Structures are given as C-alpha cells and as structure tokens.
C-alpha cells in the first residue's frame, strides 16, 4: 500500500493528481493508497515518549494520526510532498513525521557510522520525497536532501529518492 503525505489543500491535490486522489475511493477494506492532508489537522508531538513507553507504537494523543506507526508498518511506498521550508519539510509534513516515531524504537544502532533508531517493524518501504518552492537556495536543497535521506535510514527504508521542483504543478507526472 502507498501512503502519501502532502501539504496541499485537498482540492488542489485532487486537481493536480486526479488518478491518485481516486485511489482512496475504491471501497476496498485495504485501499491501494492512504492520503494524508492538512484537511485533518495533526496535533503536534509533545515529546512525551508515550509512543515508545506507555503505548508502544501508538501515540497517546487521540486524533487521526494516533496510529501512524501501524500505518507505516503496512506501507510499501511512502511519498512525501512538501514545500521546502529552510531546507526542511513544511510544518504539516514535519508534524506528521514527528507523530510517526512510534514506527521505530527508542533504542539506537549505528548505520554507516551514524546513530539511528532500532526498527520496530520488519517493513522496508521505499521513500520518495518531492520538495517544491520557487526560491529554494542551493544550501536549502542540500540540507533538504540530507534530511530526507537521513529520515529514510532512520525508517529503515529500502530506498530513497529526493526531487526538487519550482512549482507543485511540476510534480505531476512524477508520482509513479
């Protein structure tokens, strides 16, 4: 199953990617894609470690993003679409990723000489990140690229690709 996390208004997403937007309307018990958008606001992570200690894998904050760890454990491909904000994700996308830390454990391992979290699940999803913005500097692009790749290692991804665009419309056709 694909999981798509984007920061567009849902109507804009549907206009840009009508075929993808239809994937969640097929009426199956396990849709081919789950699309997360700012239409359902995410409460910010409060750093309580509850998803690691109190309710392992599940966030203690009751909202639509409480089971992000479980959702990611069933995801074969994670697609992130985000405005590039100072070399990072937009506030909404970052917030959803913060709420996803229950997908990993609070323990650490060394990967390629860097410290990363131990995996909670055996799932090895592919991660594709699409950053957009009409004035992304070279430094912001380099920072965002490193961030997306480090997040992929932390999530135990099978692969990671990062793309940059000046406008959201340029992403159309690159969502394979």
Give CA–CA dist 51/61, Å, rounded. Answer: 9
Q: What is the CA radius of gyration of the chain?
A: 16
Helix runs in the chain, H state only: 10-16, 18-22, 68-73, 91-98, 138-154
- Dihedral, CA of residue 118, residue 161, residue 46 and residue 91, to nearest 10: 170
Give CA–CA dist 131/133, Å, rounded. Answer: 7
- Per-residue pLDDT averaged across 7-18, rounded? 91
Question: Which listed CATH number (3.40.50.360, 1.20.58.410, 2.70.210.12, 3.40.50.1580) goes with 2-171?
Answer: 3.40.50.360
Determine phi and psi for 125, rounding to 5 degrees.
Answer: -80, 155
CA atoms within 13 A on the CB side of 82: 26
Contact by Cβ (8 Å): 24, 31: yes
Q: pLDDT tens digit string along 22-76?
A: 766 545 556 778 999 999 889 999 999 999 999 999 999 999 999 999 999 999 9
Supply the pTM of this predicted model: 0.93
Q: pLDDT tens digit string along 80-131?
A: 999 999 999 999 999 999 999 999 999 999 988 989 899 999 999 999 999 9
CA distances from 174 to 22, 67, 164, 170 (A): 17, 28, 11, 8
């Amino acid at each position: 199953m694909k999981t798509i996390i984007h920061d567009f208004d849902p109507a804009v997403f549907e206009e840009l990617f009508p075929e993808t937007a239809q994937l969640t309307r097929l009426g199956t018990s396990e849709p081919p894609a789950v699309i997360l958008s700012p239409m359902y606001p995410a409460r910010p992570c409060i750093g309580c470690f509850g998803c690691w200690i109190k309710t392992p894998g599940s966030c203690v904050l009751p909202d639509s993003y409480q089971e992000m760890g479980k959702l990611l454990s069933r995801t074969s491909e994670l697609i992130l679409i985000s405005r590039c904000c100072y070399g990072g994700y937009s506030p909404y996308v970052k917030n959803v990723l913060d709420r996803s830390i229950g997908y990993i454990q609070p323990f650490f391992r060394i990967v390629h000489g860097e410290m990363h979290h131990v995996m909670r699940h055996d799932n090895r999803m592919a991660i594709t990140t699409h950053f957009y913005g009409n004035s992304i500097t070279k430094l912001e692009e380099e920072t965002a690229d490193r961030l997306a790749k480090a997040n992929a290692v932390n999530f135990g991804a099978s692969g990671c690709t990062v793309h940059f665009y000046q406008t959201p419309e340029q992403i159309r056709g690159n969502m394979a």
